[in-house]
Chains A and B, each alone.
Chain A
Amino acid sequence: MTTMTHETEITADDKVPVIRITRQFDAPPAKVFRAHVDPALLAQWLGPRDLEMTVDYFDCRTGGAYRYVQRRGEDEFGFHGSFHEVRPNEVIVQTFTFEGVPDGVALDRAQFEALEDGGTRLTVTSLVGSFEERAAILASGMEHGVREGYEKLDELLRGTAG
């Protein structure tokens, strides 16, 4: 195993409103999987450092559910969903809702694939309800807050930036 930093690849599918993220890790699937299912570990990496993440509940097994809140100052971003299928070190299929857009739901599939060098390839496929929804998600970056995203987009569309 090398200790280089791997590229994060992102693809937006043409045919279906899917965002696919691929990334390799210098750790075996068991470890990468555990960092996803142990809420104490998850809280260390999921959100940006300036957001404080509180796990409300997190029951990562088939039929389980989760909710967590990210806070920055006065701002609170809640997220929740269900675990549809969880197979240790292989796959996590879950729903994902940003509570700011309660009717929006993504179906996320995280696959953990063992690599010959002992590492893991993680592929996260996120299917949303429509191309418009996907555009909004890509535009907002979600975790940075929809408002901030739209403000910046406003600026860009007005041609005041750059």
Chain B
Amino acid sequence: MPGDALSRVFAAVSDPIRRDMVARLADGDATVNELAEPYDVTVQAVSKHLKVLEDAGLVSRSRDAQRRPVHLEAEVFDLMTKWIERYRRQADERYRRLDEVLRAMPDDEQPPPPPRQSNRGRKRGHDDHDA
């Protein structure tokens, strides 16, 4: 399912080490050892992170058994940023509509008056929606 696929991509880059690895792979392919170098973690730990990135489809590894360089699947990475951008754009469109509503609202109107039901006794409200 695409929803799950995308979840894996998001989950994969939710970790700072994996995000850093993705950023470095954007400069070019690298081996596991090369990737492990800057971190204070074992090669095994880096391999685990790679597995997560691989399962998400973010990186691939060549079949070359000796080196097995890791390659960034840039399209999948772009896809994720595209979806965030799309979400951002929808929020932006919404708030542009709000800009217009705010411009049309009168300036001098007072904030909503405080509740004035005291002389009617009961607080109203709860009975008009029992959802």
Q: Do A and B come from one complex?
A: yes
Chain A interface (Cβ < 8 Å from any Cβ of B): 5-10, 12, 14, 19, 21, 23, 25-27, 30-35, 37, 41, 44-46, 48-49, 56-57, 59, 61, 64-65, 67, 80, 88-89, 122, 131-132, 134-139, 141, 143-144, 150, 153-154, 156-157, 159
**Stretch of B47-55, B62-70, B97-105 that contacts chain A:** B97-105
Given contacts A10-B84, A14-B16, contact A132 B101 (CB under 8 A): no
Instruction: Tell me whether chain A's interface is mostly helix, strand or loop, or mixed.
Output: mixed
What's the A-B contact tally at a CB cutoff of 8 Å? 135
Interface residues of B (CB under 8 A from A): 2-7, 9-11, 14-16, 19, 75, 79, 82-84, 86-88, 90-103, 105, 109, 111-112, 125, 128-129, 131
B2–A154 touching, CB < 8 Å: yes
Residue of B6, B75, B129 near A65 (CB, 8 A) is B129
Would you give the shortest CB distance from A62 to chain B, in whole angstroms?
11
Chain A residues near B128 (CB-CB < 8 A): 57, 59
Closest A residue by C-beta to B93: A48
Decide yes or no: A45 and B100 within 8 Å by CB, A10-B87, A35-B105 being known contacts: yes
Inter-subunit contact A157/B79 (CB<8 Å): yes
